[in-house]
């Protein structure tokens, strides 16, 4: 490297040798390429290519999770009291009521870490406003799965009388025994009989796993649109028949409750994930 002449003193100069060394070091330092200084706390998005290198949901900073639940019976919308539905056992019936808990929404990171948002909501399918919820303080992360409980977790289920959505005044609590009714459906069967199913009991709690890998959404306020298919209660993995399995379930030990509890584990699906 050639240095400017004005930095090179002549032999007759009064500049000391040590001063000359300092000047040369300054010039060398000035000629080097600038050093890139990285932030001490790189942003959450570092290394996340939102076009090719991620799947699922990215919440870039603490956000809000919005959820909207709609109801169907197979491919048909739920019309209460008048429309007749036919299940896999060829039972023909109407639906008068669907009420259920929607709790413990848990986001699952690509690393496998689970973040339980610890929500408790009570939904009534005949009142659409109850099926639209927002959950705040969602931690940032890349999520590839979600789990939902259509019920109440064992700790709160056995925790006695509580408040809010868990207040027994909502008539979703078995007063004769400690425990919540997780899911309720009832109506009339074509043979003139009525049916009434109250699903509860820790051993029958319908945890539902939802895979997010098919989506590529990055948002601070994502919206999940979900569909709850009531038909799934009566089929897959086992066919439930009113005649064979019973018209009434009102405890965690009634005949048929185990079969129906298992059937419920796939009754919720994601229809859209929106930014």
- Write down the domain spans for the chain: 56-274
Is the pLDDT at 31 greater than 60, yes or no? no
Q: What is the pLDDT of residue 161?
A: 64
Q: What is the pLDDT of residue 103?
A: 98
Letter string b/e over residues 235-274, b meaning 16 or more CB atoms within 10 A of that residue's CB: eeeeebbbeebbbbbeebebebbebbbebbbebbeeeebe
**Window from 139-148, 170-179, 261-270 with minimum mean pLDDT:** 170-179
d(Cα 52, Cα 74) in Å, to the nearest integer? 35
Phi, psi (degrees; rounded to nearest 5) at 264: -75, -10
Q: What is the pLDDT of residue 28?
A: 44
**Which is nearest to 69 in space by CA: 114, 119, 118, 134?**
134
Q: What is the pLDDT of residue 110?
A: 87
Local confidence band at 160 (pLDDT 50, 70, 90 cut-offs): low
Whether the model clears a pTM of 0.85, i.e. scores above it, the answer is no
Q: Are 195 and 38 in contact (CB under 8 A)?
A: no
Instruction: Please give the DSSP secondary-structure letter assigned to residue 36.
Output: P
The 10s digit of each residue's pLDDT in 167-186 is: 999 999 987 666 999 999 99
Instruction: Please give the DSSP secondary-structure letter assigned to residue 90.
Output: -
Phi, psi (degrees; rounded to nearest 5) at 48: -100, 105
């Amino acid at each position: 490297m050639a240095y400017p002449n004005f930095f090179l003193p002549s032999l007759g100069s009064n500049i000391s040798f040590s001063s000359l060394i300092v000047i040369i070091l300054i010039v060398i330092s000035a000629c080097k390429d600038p050093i890139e200084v990285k932030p001490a706390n790189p942003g959450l998005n570092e290394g996340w290519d939102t076009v090719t290198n991620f799947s699922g949901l990215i919440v870039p900073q603490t956000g809000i999770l919005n959820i909207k639940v709609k109801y169907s019976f197979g491919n048909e919308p739920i019309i209460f009291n008048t429309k007749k539905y036919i299940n896999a056992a060829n039972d023909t019936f109407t639906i008068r009521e669907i009420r259920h808990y929607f709790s413990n929404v848990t986001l699952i990171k690509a690393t496998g870490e689970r973040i339980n948002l610890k929500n408790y909501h009570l939904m009534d399918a005949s009142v659409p406003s109850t099926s639209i919820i927002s959950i705040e303080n969602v931690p940032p992360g890349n999520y590839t799965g979600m789990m939902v409980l259509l019920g109440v977790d064992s700790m709160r289920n056995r925790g006695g009388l509580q408040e809010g959505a868990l207040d027994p005044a909502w008539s979703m609590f078995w007063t004769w025994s400690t425990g919540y009714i997780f899911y309720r459906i009832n109506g009339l069967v074509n043979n003139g009989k009525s049916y009434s199913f109250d699903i509860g009991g820790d051993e029958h709690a319908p945890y539902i796993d939802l895979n997010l890998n098919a989506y590529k959404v990055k948002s601070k306020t994502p919206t999940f649109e979900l569909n709850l298919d009531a038909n799934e209660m009566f089929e897959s993995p086992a066919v439930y028949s009113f005649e064979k399995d019973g018209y009434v379930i009102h405890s965690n030990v009634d005949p048929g409750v185990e079969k129906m509890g298992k059937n419920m584990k796939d009754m919720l699906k994601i229809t859209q994930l929106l930014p």
